[in-house]
Amino acid sequence: MYFSELASFFQKLETTDSRNAMTEILADLFSQASAAEIDKICYLCLGRLVPQYESYEFNLAEKLMFEVLAKAYGKDKEAVKTLYGRLGDLGGVAQALASEKGEVKSIKDSTVEEVFTKLWEVAGVEGEGSVEKKINLLAELIASLAPISAKYAVRIPLKKLRLGFSDMTILDSLSFMKKKDKSLRKKIEPFYNISADIGKIARAFKEKDLEGLESIRIVPGTPIRTASAERLPNAEAIIAKIGKCAAEPKYDGFRVQIHKKDQEVHIFSRNLEEMSASFPEISAATKKISVSSIIFEGEAIGFNSETQEFLPFQETVQRKRKYGITEMAKKIPLKVFVFDLFFREGQKLIDQPYHQRRQQLEEIFRKSQSDVFAIAEKKIFEQACDLEAFFQEKISQGLEGVVVKKLDAPYEAGSRGFSWIKYKREEKGALDDTLDCLIMGYYYGRGKRAGFGIGALLVAVYNAAEDVFESIAKIGTGLTDEQWMEIKKECDALKVEGKPARYKVHKDLNPQVWVLPKLVTVVRADEITKSPLHTAGKIGAEAGYALRFPRVMELLRHDKKPEDATTVKEITELYGMQ
């Protein structure tokens, strides 16, 4: 496929505001792509060169792009800047300058593969003189492209190709490509859940349909999508739901998925971002585990070994950083409470029942003499009163509560189910838990806030069945002035003209500024109520759900993807529990 053809698809995707239309356009794109290029096309569609969990970055600031464009089109840097001032988008600037320049002989000759290879080369430049070299390589590429191709080839290195869909939309589109409907998504998704490389999945499926996917295996280095817990309000409800069960403390740190193959270690966050560089002590301890290949999961938490006390989440979370790592590792050493095992010595374990996975996990970690790893405590319960006592004990130790696990359940990669149930400390208010909501946009402020240009946020929950975001609240409280400024800055970096395709919002609630799906904020409310305006959980003419007295509790959860926001299904359940 020529890159200009791909760019035309980008253009179509960019201008559609319906999730379904997007799925069909992508399906059309995938059916025209060859198996050899479909993986690269998937990454490019998401504005990347590698799967989401890998980091292979361009590290190219906007100001360098001025130089690239000046060089590519033989213009003065100031002229490029002026045009940018007018258009507000460097992709648009490239398109305009390329059109001005007129026909370029080699235009039609650039295939997706060729452009991908060149971009790859640009991102890979390192060492002395790398900035200059990057500029030259990229300018050479941009100069050879047709206007529409140049527009998108410029946006990719700037991380500005935001077409507004996720890996999930791609899964639907793959189904659509073969069947003209989404029915195959259910069959494709389990493979994606154990191997979260969307390019690899698309390629295997393109090559040999579902049979092709059979070749997808769990491999160390490719993350497995995490399982999530359902919640229940008390021990009786839990025992009534799953009977005899295991309960583990709910450690309040951050989740880590750790992969080891020989001496190669990868540590992924809940969001499946590669974090190995931030946790040198976990990497070192993993290398010492006496198996050659393993994938396991645990919760990392700051731990004071003198006092044997856990550190509060606010301290632990300081370890999630890219700079000053060594210093912080000394200040806040981490302990990883391991709780699940997915893979061991080439063998896939996620389909085995919990109690068997757990047994093997204990076997491995009992042997490892490590200060970093500890096995998460586990007890078996049949009676609600005993489970309740265990829960109370954990609360008194300063923990969040417990995670209860069904003894015979497989690991439910990529989904939220009752195989795991979280039972958390009660907090004031009828609504016990906080909600993770996606920021859809913001409204300009009135009164004092008018000065900030932001007065309230429109937030949404995730409708996983339809892969769309539905509005649930307008929030104007809970933030300090500094936080309003900060959130505005974050929002402005993701601002778009029209309503993003996957947003469902009643027109009376349209915010003044729309924001692409990216920012997840933690919200508390007194109650879930019914609403004629909000679309969360709305079916036909029925009312949707809204939040009463919503306020922001934690500005942003960078470890959560938009699709990790609280779901409509959870809201419906929480409403039922009230």
- Residue 444 class from Cβ within 10 Å (0-12 exposed, 13-18 middle, 19+ buried)? middle
Among residues 469 and 514, whose Cβ is nearest to ligand ATP? 469
Q: Nearest approach, Cβ of 249 to ligand ATP (angstroms)?
A: 6
Q: Tell me: does residue 376 bind ligand ATP (CB under 6 A).
A: yes
Q: What is the DSSP string of 216-274?
A: ----TTSPPPPPEEEE-SSHHHHHHHH-SEEEEE---SEEEEEEEETTEEEEE-TT--B
* Residue 376 or 387 having the CB closest to ligand ATP: 376
Residue type, 402: V
What amino acid is encoded at 4 in this protein?
S
Asked if 563 is part of the footprint of ligand ATP (rule: CB under 6 A), the reply reads: no
Q: Shortest distance, CB of residue 327 to ligand ATP, whole angstroms?
A: 25
Shortest separation between residue 338's beta carbon and ligand ATP, angstroms? 9
Between 162 and 255, name the residue whose CB sits nearer to ligand ATP.
Answer: 255
Closer to ligand ATP at the Cβ: 213 or 387? 387
Pairwise CA distance, residues 40 & 35, whole Å:
10
Say if residue 279 carries a ligand binding annotation.
no
Nearer to ligand ATP, 151 or 250 (CB): 250
Tell me the closest approach of the beta carbon of residue 299 to ligand ATP, in angstroms: 4
Interaction mask 260-299, ligand ATP, x per CB under 6 A:
----------x----------------------------x
- Name which of residues 424 to 483 contact ligand ATP (CB under 6 A): none
300 forms part of the interface with ligand ATP (CB under 6 A): no
Q: Which of 206, 250, 260, 561 is catalytic?
A: 250
Label each residue of 387-428 as H, E or C: HHHHHHHHHHCCCCEEEEEECCCCCCCCCEEEEEEEEECCCC
Q: Which helix (H) or strand (E) holds 212?
A: helix 198-213
Distances (CA, A) of 17 to 14, 42, 415, 493, 503: 8, 20, 27, 20, 9
203 is an annotated ligand-binding site residue: no
Tokens of 432: 């016990």
The answer on whether 255 is annotated among ligand-binding residues is yes
Site for ligand ATP in 200-229 (CB under 6 A): 228-229
- The secondary structure of residue 318, as a DSSP letter, is G
d(CA 241, CA 260): 36
Q: How far is the CB of 335 from ligand ATP (least distance, A)?
A: 12
Q: Are 358 and 338 in contact (CB under 8 A)?
A: no
Report, in Å, the least distance between residue 255 CB and ligand ATP: 3
The site that binds ligand ATP (CB under 6 A) totals a number of residues, namely: 12
Q: Judge residue 506's burial from the number of C-beta atoms within 10 Å of its C-beta, 0-12 exposed, 13-18 middle, 19 or more buried.
A: middle
Question: Between residues 248 and 563, which has the closer beta carbon with respect to ligand ATP?
Answer: 248
Cα–Cα distance, 562 to 405 (Å, whole number): 26
Half-sphere exposure of 503 (CA within 13 A, CB side): 27
Cβ proximity of 275 and 281 under 8 Å: no
Q: HSE of 487 in the Cβ direction (CA atoms, 13 Å)?
A: 35
Token pair, residue 555, equals 């500005």
Judged by CB under 6 A, which of 7, 46, 60, 403 binds ligand ATP?
Answer: 403
Q: 339: annotated binding-site residue? A: yes
Measured from the CB atom, the residue of 289 and 403 that comes closer to ligand ATP is 403
250 belongs to the catalytic site: yes
User: What angle, rounded to 10 degrees, do the helices at 198-213 and 35-45 form?
Assistant: 140
549 annotated binding-site participant: no
Cβ 219 vs Cβ 200: under 8 Å: no
Nearest distance from residue 293's CB to ligand ATP, in Å?
23
Calpha distance 170→29 (Å, rounded)? 11
Question: Which listed residue (348, 422, 449, 569) binds ligand ATP by CB under 6 A?
Answer: 422
CB of 422 to ligand ATP, least distance (A): 5
The residue (of 94 and 536) whose beta carbon lies closer to ligand ATP is 536
Residue 66 assigned as binding residue:
no
Run of H or E residues at 475: strand 468-475
113 labelled ligand-binding:
no
Q: Identify which of 119, 174, 123, 124 has the alpha carbon closest to the alpha carbon of residue 152.
A: 119
List 339, 365, 373, 381, residue binding ligand ATP (CB under 6 A): 339
Q: Which of residues 225-264 bind ligand ATP (CB under 6 A)?
A: 228-229, 248, 250-251, 255
Instruction: Name the maximum alpha-carbon separation found in the chain.
Output: 78
**Residue ranges binding ligand ATP (CB under 6 A):** 228-229, 248, 250-251, 255, 270, 299, 339, 376, 403, 422
Query: Which residues participate in the annotated binding site?
Result: 248, 255, 270, 299, 339, 416, 422
Catalytically annotated residues: 250
Query: Which residues participate in the annotated binding site for ATP?
Result: 248, 255, 270, 299, 339, 416, 422
